Every structure is written in structure tokens, then in C-alpha cells.
Amino acid sequence: MQLLSNFLKHKKIDTELVELIDTLMLACKEIALQLREGELAGVLGISDNTNIQGETQKKLDIISNEILKKVLLDNPLVRGVASEEEDHAVFGNPEGRFLVTFDPLDGSSNIDINVSVGTIFSVLEVPAGEHEDSDSLFLQPGTQQLAAGYVLYGPHAVLSLTTGDGVNMFTLAHTGDFLLTQEDVTVPETTAEFAINMSNQRFWEPAMRNYIDDLLAGTEGPRAQNYNMRWIASMVAEVHRILTRGGLFTYPWDSRDPKKPGKLRLMYEGNPMSMLIEQAGGVSSTCYQRIMEIQPEHIHQRVSVALGSREEVKALVEYHQKPE
């Protein structure tokens, strides 16, 4: 089996990017260790802090954020990092070439019940020219990402990675190495499985309500097949399922907070997951536009997300194009 770094070298990926990915995996291995011990390490439960998203931080949100921040900023290739758990970007070497954004722990409402969580990351390059350290360095559309991926901490830890040339998966071995386990992952074009938090139904737009009603109607409805539903409340786990066996995942805009375009974050969740899904042949949209083409206005910007199997996401987007 092939080591992650050997695989990337064989693919002739830029050696500095390979070094950066190695650094990211060093941090993710440390997070995996902390997660493994759970209650024994005293890492479960909430902290006294609230993040800029307005969420009460779990202890492990903070621990994972600190690990990633420290390990990445120790690497001179890194100019700065932006995180779901930091108010503003944090900077390292002024000569550094890379910017890294991350959701240190995704699905953190699942930590205390011992259900899968993950780390999501995205790599950008510092734009050309002289730039002061500021959040604005990060405000690049997802099409500019050099690499994106996640590590799912489930029954086993798996890295799904794209450097813009397909998606590959690597499993964390007992030796501490990530080994290639799935090459050139593709999302099946059609599916009969969807994921949405149904408890928000009364807050959705009519187009989303109509679409889900038609899925629930099964063989009796216009979609003419029976659908299965999943909701893990961990985007990493949902995207991993979709990369593995297809499906549709959506966290749409809803009227609970009408000023926000959605719950999920463009830079830490929307863009990296969109790059993975598109690189595996799937589609990722807000229901109105391609997520990776959005020009971000601030680092914590929210976005409505619908991604997965090509034909199913296209069908959902069509519901949004019909007049009400």
C-alpha cells in the first residue's frame, strides 16, 4: 500500500504543497489521538466560550483549533490561517506562500455521543503583489483552491483529498501513516438517498418543500422511485457517504435567520466540500449558483449548500428555477 507522501510525489504534486499536506496530517493525527481517549482524557463537554458563529464551543472545538493553528503556523510555508473558531485570520511567516482555512472539528454536536466528527481544510495561495496581513487575503472564490479535503474520525480515520486532479482516500494505519485505500473516487450520477434536517421543513423556501415532498411521495410521485433518508449532523460524515455510495446532501437557506444565506460556512465547509464533490464528478450548488464561483465578502460568510450525485442535484436546482 502506498504512503500519502509517496502517492503525491508520484503524481508530481508541487513539493511544497506535499509538505503542507504532511503538516496538516500531523495536526489531524494529534486530533485523532485526543478524540480516541474521550472521557479518559477529560476532553468532552462544553467550554465557557462562544465563537464568532454564535455557537457555544465544545472543549474539543478549542483543542482541535489550537492544534491546527500551532502546527500550521510552525511551518514557514504558511502565511496565515482562518478558522471557524477564530474571529480573524492568524498570521505566521510573512514570506509564507500558503493560506489555509479549516473547520477544526465538524459535527461537534456529535462529540459527546461518540458519533463521527471530522476536520475540513482548504489551501489557497497568497495573491500576487504586496499585501498586508488581513482577512482580505483569504477572500478568494473556491475555484482558486489548490487543495481541499477532510479527515473523518469515524470507526477508522480517513483522509479524502483533492489537489485538483481527482479525489483519493487514505486510511490512518496503526503505524501513524496515511495509506492509499481508494483511488480516483467517483460519485455515482444517480441516487435514491438524500440528507436534510427535516425538522426545519416549515422554514424552507417553497421550492425546497416541493422537492422534498416529491421525494417522500416515492413511486407514487413525479420522481417515481422510493428514497431513503440519512441525517448524521456531521457534514464530513455525510460527504464521505456520498463520495462512497452517492446521495444528495443539502443544508438550505431557511427563514429562522433570514439575513444569513444558510447555516454552513463558505470558506470552511462550502468551498472545500464543493471541490471534493466536483473533482469526484458530482455537483455542488447553492440551488441558484455554483458554490465555488461565489466571491467571498468576509471570511465567516454563510452559504446554502446542495451537493452530491449529479442528476439529483440538477433535479433540485431545477425546482428552484420553476416559477412558484
Retrieve residue 94's grid coordinates. Answer: 510573512
Q: How far apart are CA 86 and CA 33, in angstroms?
A: 23
**CB-closest chain residue to ligand AHG:** 235
Number of residues in contact with Mn ion under rule CB under 5 A: 5
Say which amino acid occupies 267.
M
201 lies in the binding site for ligand AHG (CB under 6 A): no
Q: How far apart are CA 152 and CA 182, in angstroms?
A: 14
Binding mask 277-296 for Mn ion (x = CB under 5 A): --------------------
Question: Measured from the CB of residue 193, what is the shortest distance to Mn ion in angstroms?
Answer: 21
278 binds, among Mn ion, ligand AHG, none (CB under 5 to 8 A by kind): none
Question: Measured from the CB of residue 13, what is the shortest distance to Mn ion in angstroms?
Answer: 26
Q: Report whether 106 contacts 249 (CB < 8 A).
A: no
103 lies in the binding site for ligand AHG (CB under 6 A): yes
- Specify the pairing of strand 193-195 against strand 228-229: parallel
197 lies in the binding site for ligand AHG (CB under 6 A): yes
Binding mask 36-55 for Mn ion (x = CB under 5 A): -------------------x
234 lies in the binding site for ligand AHG (CB under 6 A): yes
Q: Angle formed by the axes of helices 206-216 and 310-321, to 10°?
A: 130
Closer to Mn ion at the Cβ: 57 or 96? 57
Residue among 112, 319, 318, 142 at smallest CA distance from 234: 112
251 lies in the binding site for ligand AHG (CB under 6 A): yes
Number of residues in contact with ligand AHG under rule CB under 6 A: 13
Phi, psi of 122 (to 5 degrees): -145, 140
Which 107-146 positions form the footprint of ligand AHG (CB under 6 A)?
107-109
Retrieve residue 63's grid coordinates. Answer: 483543542
Q: How far apart are CA 207 and CA 201, in angstroms?
A: 11
Question: Measured from the CB of residue 173, what is the shortest distance to ligand AHG in angstroms?
Answer: 26
Closer to ligand AHG at the Cβ: 302 or 310? 302
Retrieve residue 25's grid coordinates. Answer: 496530517
106 lies in the binding site for ligand AHG (CB under 6 A): yes
Q: What are the helix (H) ranges across the chain? A: 4-10, 15-37, 59-73, 206-216, 235-245, 271-279, 310-321
Residues making contact with ligand AHG (CB under 6 A): 55, 84, 103, 106-109, 197, 233-235, 251, 263
